[in-house]
């Protein structure tokens, strides 16, 4: 691409290293569709407001549409020596339609142009992320229904704590991803204002109609201060924040899956298509996907930190530092998309070893709380029942046995309140089944959680 659009004020061509350094087309060409769409809306508005001739606007729109078509079909390729996508599209337009092309940039600056393009692009791509998160929630709901009564140990401090159902554990993750979805919705509501018409920083003397372009581009409003309109990147930072939280959730889940796959747990097995082997150890089946997801989480946090740090020292209004926003935001989007795309089918195809979960649940005295509750229901104060059950557990450990295996006479030697009912009270299935409080681990509770979540995602 020969000649800069700002060449008039300069007496020399830009140094070629500086040209490469300054150029953003390598990464902002990703916004070509949004750039063209926004330019069409702008040209339309200019004509409707009598700022350019209707005939020129027609030529501009036709030219822009042909550029879009040719870029999509491959008939036109991006010129990577151009400064950025905005320059490339405008120069190509003028090459194609002549003088009329030179009128497109009336009442516009690249500063409001890049802000609107970037918002449109992030809005489109965040929508894809939201759809993926919905699919993930659907998979979790489906499995949770299937395993609503599969008993496993629930942990605190990674120590066996109380019996829970596997469906309950899966729904805990569904709740996290449901919040992520609502965070994406909130984000969209807040970011959805059009900066187009802010000009370079101060607005314009031309009689533009900002409402018209905002509406045409699907924004709910336009930005109400032009300095802020061109220099706000909160929307990129917030999105990277939301994506960081999604990654944090995926990473926690990954960590859990890695544990569940180990020989120490063996609660689940990943499908062969979603696990990998070792180059030396023939027996290995590694959960690489989950480890990569856990690892890539740091990368998205890095993108968030990049954006926050990039903005923190910037005075009003546009500063070139802000060109750094795109690579960070796009990397965060690409990473989250990549991770969700492998994570969902991996979850869908994993198999559950209910027997191992059950065996693990029967060790570790995870029904001790139920034993204490049993005594409470017989009239003993909780603190006393808690202490007595602790002594019973100690007795079991000393004698290498479990609460379920103790004869009634032993129970009664600790307290006269024990009768035959104790065995039902500490039966693991019963322990899970009884926790019917809202949000609890009982199968019926899990099923109503599934129903509630399914209703939320349909909204
Ligand atoms: N490539 C630039 C960016 O991404 C576009 C805006 C350029 N504006 C300017 N005043 N140099 O930020």
Closest Cα partner for 304 from 249, 231, 236, 233? 236
Give strand pairing partners of 162.
154
Ligand 1 centroid from CA 180, angstroms:
31
For strand 268-269 and strand 351-352, is the pairing parallel, antiparallel, or unpaired? antiparallel
Give strand pairing partners of 155.
160
- CB hemisphere CA count around 47 (13 angstroms): 16
Which pair of tokens denotes residue 370?
């139920």
Catalytic annotation present for 11: no
Which pair of tokens denotes residue 356?
């191992």
Q: Please tell me the predicted confidence (pLDDT) of residue 2.
A: 53
Catalytic annotation present for 109: no
Q: Which atom of ligand 1 is nearest to the CA of 85?
A: 1
323 close to ligand 1 (CB < 6 Angstrom): yes
Mutate to test the pocket of ligand 1, among 6, 14, 24 (most ligand atoms within 8 A of CB): 24
- Cis check: omega of the bond before 178, within 30 degrees of 0: no
Domains located in the chain, CATH noted: 7-106 (1.10.275.10), 111-148+155-359 (1.20.200.10), 368-426 (1.10.40.30)
The catalytic residue among 11, 73, 77, 157 is 157
Q: Please tell me the predicted confidence (pLDDT) of residue 284.
A: 81
**112: part of which helix (H) or strand (E)?**
helix 110-146
Task: Calculate the alpha carbon distances from 274 to 33, 247, 284, 337 in Å.
Answer: 35, 19, 13, 17
Residue 367 neighbours by CB under 8 Å, 6+ apart: 162, 163, 403, 404, 426, 427, 428, 431
Average pLDDT by stretches of 10, the chain with 459 residues = 76 87 97 98 98 98 98 98 97 98 98 98 98 98 98 96 97 98 98 98 98 98 98 98 98 98 96 86 88 98 98 98 98 98 97 96 93 97 97 97 96 97 95 96 98 96
The catalytic residue among 220, 224, 262, 278 is 278
Q: Whose CA is nearest to atom 3 of ligand 1?
A: 323
**222: part of which helix (H) or strand (E)?**
strand 221-222
Q: Please tell me the predicted confidence (pLDDT) of residue 1.
A: 53
111 close to ligand 1 (CB < 6 Angstrom): yes
Q: How far apart are CA 355 and CA 259, in angstroms?
A: 17
């Amino acid at each position: 691409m020969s000649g800069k659009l700002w060449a008039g004020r300069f007496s020399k061509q830009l140094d070629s290293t500086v040209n490469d350094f300054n150029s953003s087309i390598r990464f902002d060409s990703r916004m070509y569709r949004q750039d063209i769409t926004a330019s069409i809306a702008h040209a339309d508005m200019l004509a409707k407001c009598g700022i350019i001739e209707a005939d020129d606007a027609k030529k501009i729109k036709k030219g822009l549409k042909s550029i879009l078509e040719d870029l999509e079909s491959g008939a036109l390729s991006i010129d990577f020596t151009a400064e950025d996508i905005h320059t490339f599209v405008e120069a190509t337009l003028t090459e194609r339609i002549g003088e009329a092309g030179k009128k497109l940039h009336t009442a516009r600056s690249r500063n409001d142009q890049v802000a609107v393009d970037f918002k449109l692009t992030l809005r489109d791509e965040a929508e894809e992320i939201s759809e993926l998160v919905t699919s993930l929630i659907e998979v979790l709901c489906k499995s949770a229904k299937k395993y609503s009564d599969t008993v496993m140990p629930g942990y605190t401090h990674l120590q066996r704590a109380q019996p829970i159902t596997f469906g309950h554990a899966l729904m805990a993750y569904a709740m996290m991803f449901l919040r992520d979805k609502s965070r994406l919705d909130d984000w969209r509501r807040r970011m959805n204002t059009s900066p187009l018409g802010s000009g370079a920083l101060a607005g314009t003397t031309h009689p533009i109609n900002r409402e018209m372009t905002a509406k045409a581009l699907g924004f709910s409003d336009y930005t109400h201060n032009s300095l802020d309109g061109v220099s706000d990147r909160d929307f990129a930072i917030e999105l990277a924040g939301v994506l960081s939280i999604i990654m944090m959730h995926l990473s926690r889940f990954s960590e859990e899956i890695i544990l569940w796959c180990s020989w120490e747990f063996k609660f689940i097995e990943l499908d062969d298509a979603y696990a990998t082997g070792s180059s030396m150890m023939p027996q290995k089946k590694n959960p690489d996907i989950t480890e990569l997801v856990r690892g890539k989480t740091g990368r998205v946090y890095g993108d968030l930190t990049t954006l926050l740090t990039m903005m923190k020292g910037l005075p009003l209004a546009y500063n070139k530092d802000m060109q750094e926003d795109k690579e960070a935001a796009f990397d965060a989007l690409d990473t989250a998309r990549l991770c969700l795309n492998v994570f969902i089918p991996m979850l869908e195809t994993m198999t559950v070893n209910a027997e191992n979960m059950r065996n693990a649940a029967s060790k570790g005295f995870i029904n001790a709380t139920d034993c204490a509750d049993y005594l409470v229901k017989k009239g003993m104060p909780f603190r006393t029942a808690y202490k007595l059950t602790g002594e019973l557990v100690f007795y079991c450990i000393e004698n290498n046995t479990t609460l379920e295996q103790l004869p009634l006479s032993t129970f009664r030697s600790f307290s006269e309140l024990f009768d035959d009912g104790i065995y039902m009270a500490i039966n693991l299935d019963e322990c899970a089944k009884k926790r019917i409080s809202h949000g609890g681990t009982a199968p019926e509770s899990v099923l109503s959680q599934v129903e509630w979540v399914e209703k939320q995602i349909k909204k």
